[in-house]
């Protein structure tokens, strides 16, 4: 048996927590499994390779009991305790729990009261209007669940970019090391850094194609081989994600890379430009009138022959990049190295795993000049921990006294405030004034009419102490669609009032997406990038936010946390004077 990945082990541990919650067991026990699951998923090395129970217990959050279960899972793929628990409540928790609006407690009630075990059972009960009859459920609950089911079905077979890249980059790294490999590259939507991915396209040129195919289909992370021919093979990873490998002649590698990177609309237009210049472009190269091969070893060669700059893969969508490339006007897109700080994160003061000091140390390690700790405000929002208005002075003191100067990475005292239903802020101005960085966001009452939601958000923008609007659309990738609001109106007001729009880099959000960021930029908005981290390891997610920023044509000057510390402080302080 192949050793399970950290993600697979974490999934089982998290599911144990869910079942314990369904069984109404002690809260500390449930939390212990939840925390362990997060630590396992984020652990930088492969947990299954650690077979010493003492060593496992050195990982924060892993006690002797859970360590034993990890070893059992590593060796057998499951553990006795989990199997027993599952038998006690025979429900498809993985699926039901992934539905927005359902948690372990509700799943348990649906099982107890209606015998619902599967997604099909749930759909049937909704059709028969049985759920609205349960105490505490309403007709609206039913409609919302139906929406969740639709969204679940729509997203089936798609994967978040972080998960997809994790597997695909491992394949590329592995093949790069293989002695027969000449070139190997990611193509397709993964190279374009789309936020969700269907499957991975990998291209390789090789001195020995057969050996490359063998190497590919025998990679350690693979669950099964779905097909293997002379020039193409398909494999599947344990989580169901698939990857295609195509063998390409090295002389035409650039042409294939251009062709398989796409997207379709970009390729159609580029081929048309080729035709206009009396060329022909396909996946085998660029050819002249007499069918002679004139370019194709590299992408650069092809675009140059067509009289264009080379559009970065992230913006190949035919939304202006071709015209810009023809006129030598492509933007110089932001790069992850331009980022000088991270402007959204949480700590042990609320639901995070690490202290502010630990986060700052990680910031320094990532080369940042500053980070903003942006705890949730407790008023009007149910959240573990968090900071109430009256606690703000003490909160700021605590952050400022955490030996920040010794940490090389400055700590900005920030707050993430829920926008109340009527758009009012729950924190009085006299407290807002004391903070370095104030984020506002929608965390409740998602289902309002478009007009109401727009008005609600616009109202907050009138407050002179608000700096930024966090995760603006509220989407959770593959789980929750954005709420309805007038995005254009929000952008215009944000520009007028100098409110920054956040590009939330958490791979579960990636909010704004590239298309929205581009639109906002064209209106004249400025942006902030934050990882919304709940642990030090999540701070490395900044790159995903940068991918979205690049997809949105953003440049260094569009993003506030490319400023150095003093300039940023000045920028944020000026807010009150506007
Ligand atoms: Zn938030």
What pLDDT does 94 receive? 83
Please check whether residue 505 lies inside any domain of the structure: yes
For the chain, the domain total comes to: 4
Q: Residue 202 is encoded by which pair of tokens? A: 């990998």
Q: How many angstroms is it from 421 CA to the middle of ligand 1?
A: 16
* Cα 507 to averaged position of ligand 1 atoms, centre (Å): 13
Task: For residues 571 and 567, give the distance between their C-alpha atoms in angstroms, rounded to a whole number.
Answer: 6
Q: Could you give the 3-state DSSP secondary structure of residue 309?
A: coil
551 and 534 in a common domain: yes
Identify the pLDDT of residue 2: 66
Domain membership flag for residue 311: yes
CA–centroid distance, residue 112 to ligand 1 (Å):
33
CA of 380 to the centre of ligand 1 (A): 14
Question: Which of 190, 220, 248 is the last residue in one of the domains?
Answer: 248
Output the CA 472–ligand 1 centroid distance in Å.
Answer: 10
Q: Is residue 65 part of a domain?
A: yes
Together in a domain, 118 and 226: no
Query: In what order do the strands lie in the sheet containing 468-469?
Result: 341-342, 370-376, 410-418, 437-441, 468-469, 500-504, 527-530
254 is a domain residue: no
Considering the domain architecture, whether residues 150 and 179 belong to the same structural domain is answered as no
> What CATH number did the domain enclosing 197 receive?
3.30.460.10
| Six-digit token string for 512 | 């704004």
CATH assignment of the domain containing 77 = 1.10.150.110
Cβ–Cβ < 8 Å for 162, 190? no
d(CA 466, ligand 1 centre) in Å:
15
Does 308 share its domain with 360?
no
Residues 178, 283 within the same domain: no
- What CATH number does residue 317 fall under? 3.30.210.10
Mark whether 355 and 322 lie in a shared domain.
Answer: no
Q: Please tell me the distance between residue 524's alpha carbon and the centre of ligand 1 in angstroms.
A: 24
513 falls within a domain: yes
Domain termination site, one of 155, 180, 208: 155
Would you write out the chain's pLDDT as a tens digit for each of its 578 residues? 567 888 889 999 999 999 999 988 888 899 899 999 988 988 878 899 898 999 999 988 899 999 999 999 999 889 999 999 999 889 998 889 888 888 898 999 999 999 999 999 999 999 999 998 888 888 888 888 998 898 888 888 899 999 999 899 999 999 999 999 999 999 999 999 999 999 999 999 999 999 999 999 998 778 889 999 989 999 998 778 999 999 999 999 999 999 999 999 999 999 999 999 999 999 999 999 999 999 999 999 999 999 999 999 999 999 999 999 999 999 999 999 999 999 999 998 887 888 999 999 999 999 999 999 999 998 866 666 789 999 999 999 999 887 655 678 999 999 999 999 999 898 999 999 999 999 999 988 888 999 999 999 999 999 999 999 999 999 999 888 899 999 999 999 999 999 999 999 999 999 999 999 999 999 999 999 999 999 999 999 999 999 999 999 999 999 999 999 999 999 998 876 54
- 37 CA to middle of ligand 1, Å? 21
Q: Provide the CA 79 distance to its chain's centre, in angstroms.
A: 30
Contact 331, 316 (CB under 8 A): no
C-alpha distance from residue 363 to each of 117, 125, 369, 400, 506 (Å) = 45, 49, 7, 16, 16
**What is the 540 CA–ligand 1 centroid distance (Å)?**
18
Would you say 514 and 472 are in contact if contact means Cβ atoms under 8 Å apart?
A: no
- 3-class state of residue 394 by DSSP: helix
Instruction: Tell whether 453 and 569 lie within a shared domain.
Output: yes
Cα distance between residue 480 and residue 40, in whole Å: 25
Tell me, yes or no, whether 498 and 368 share the same domain.
Answer: yes
User: Who's near 276: CB < 8 A, 6+ residues apart?
Assistant: none
Ligand 1 center from residue 114 Cα (angstroms): 34
**CA 424 to centroid of ligand 1, rounded, Å:** 17
Decide which of 123, 155, 187 is a domain's last residue. Answer: 155
Ligand 1: distance of its center to the CA of 240 in Å? 30
Tell me the pTM: 0.84
As a three-state string, the secondary structure of 225-260 is EEEECCCEEEEEECCCCEEEEEECCHHHHHHHHHHH
User: Could you tell me if 112 and 164 lie in one domain?
Assistant: no
Can you give the residue range of the structural domain that contains 270? Answer: 259-326
Instruction: Give the distance (Å) from ligand 1 centre to CA of residue 376.
Output: 8
DSSP string, 359-385: HHHHHHHTT-SEEEEEEEB-TTS--SS
* Angstrom distance (rounded) from CA 563 to CA 569: 9
Three-state DSSP at 413 gives strand
Check whether residue 280 and residue 400 sit in a common domain. no
Q: Is 331 domain-assigned?
A: no
Q: How far is the CA of 377 from the centre of ligand 1 (A)?
A: 10
Tokens of 258: 């251009």
Do 289 and 352 lie in a common domain? no
Residue 443: inside a domain: yes
Domain CATH for 536: 3.20.20.140
Q: For residue 230, count other CB atoms closer than 10 A to its CB.
A: 9
Same domain, residue pair 342 and 282: no
The pLDDT, as a whole number, for residue 405 is 55
Would 49 be classed as within a structural domain? Answer: yes
């Amino acid at each position: 048996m192949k050793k399970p990945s950290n993600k697979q082990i974490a999934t089982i541990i998290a599911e144990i927590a869910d079942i314990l919650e369904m069984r109404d067991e002690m809260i500390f026990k449930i939390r212990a499994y939840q925390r362990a699951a997060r630590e396992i998923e984020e652990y930088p090395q492969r947990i299954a390779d650690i077979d010493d129970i003492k060593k496992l217990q050195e990982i924060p959050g892993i006690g002797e009991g859970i360590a034993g279960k990890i070893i059992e899972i590593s060796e057998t793929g499951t553990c006795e305790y989990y199997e027993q628990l599952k038998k006690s409540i025979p429900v498809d928790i993985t699926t039901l729990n992934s539905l927005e609006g359902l948690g372990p407690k509700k799943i348990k009630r649906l099982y107890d009261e209606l015998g619902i075990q599967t997604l099909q059972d749930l759909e049937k009960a909704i059709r028969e209007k049985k759920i609205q009859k349960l105490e505490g459920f309403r007709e609206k609950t039913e409609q919302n669940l139906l929406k969740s089911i639709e969204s679940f079905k729509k997203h089936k077979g798609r994967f978040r970019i972080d998960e997809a890249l994790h597997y695909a980059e491992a394949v590329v790294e592995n093949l790069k090391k293989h002695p027969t490999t000449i070139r190997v590259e990611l193509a397709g939507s993964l190279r374009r850094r789309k936020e969700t991915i269907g499957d991975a396209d990998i291209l390789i040129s090789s001195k020995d194609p057969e050996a490359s195919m063998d190497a590919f289909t025998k990679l350690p992370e693979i669950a099964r081989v779905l097909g293997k021919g002379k020039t193409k093979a398909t494999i599947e990873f344990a989580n169901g994600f698939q990857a295609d490998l195509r063998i390409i002649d090295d002389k035409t590698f650039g042409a294939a890379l251009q062709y398989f990177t796409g997207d379709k609309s970009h390729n159609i237009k580029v081929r048309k430009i080729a035709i206009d210049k009396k060329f022909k472009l396909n996946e085998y190269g660029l050819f002249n009138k007499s069918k002679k091969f004139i370019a194709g070893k590299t992408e650069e060669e092809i675009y140059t022959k067509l009289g264009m700059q080379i559009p970065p893969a992230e913006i190949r969508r035919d939304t202006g990049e071709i015209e810009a490339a023809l006129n030598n006007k492509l933007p110089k897109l932001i790069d992850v190295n331009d980022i000088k700080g991270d402007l959204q994160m949480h700590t042990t003061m609320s639901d995070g795993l690490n202290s502010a000091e630990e986060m700052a140390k990680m910031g320094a390690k990532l080369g940042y000049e500053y980070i903003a700790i942006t705890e949730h405000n407790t008023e009007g929002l149910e959240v573990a921990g968090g900071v109430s208005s009256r606690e703000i002075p003490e909160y700021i003191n605590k952050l400022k006294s955490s030996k920040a100067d010794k940490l090389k990475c400055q700590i900005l005292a920030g707050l993430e405030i829920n926008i109340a239903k009527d758009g009012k802020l729950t924190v009085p101005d006299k407290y807002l004034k004391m903070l370095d960085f104030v984020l506002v966001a929608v965390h409740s009452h998602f289902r309002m009419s478009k007009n109401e939601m727009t008005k609600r958000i616009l109202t907050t923008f009138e407050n002179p102490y608000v700096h930024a609007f966090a995760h603006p659309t509220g989407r959770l990738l593959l789980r929750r669609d954005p709420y309805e609001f007038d995005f254009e109106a929000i952008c215009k007001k944000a520009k007028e009032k100098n409110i920054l729009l956040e590009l939330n880099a958490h791979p579960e959000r990636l909010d704004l997406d590239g298309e929205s960021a581009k639109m906002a930029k064209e209106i004249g908005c400025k942006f902030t990038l934050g990882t919304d981290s709940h642990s030090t390891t999540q701070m490395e997610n900044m790159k995903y936010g940068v991918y979205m920023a690049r997809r949105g044509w953003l440049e260094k000057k569009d993003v506030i946390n490319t400023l150095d510390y003093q300039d940023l402080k000045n920028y944020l302080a000026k807010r009150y004077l506007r």
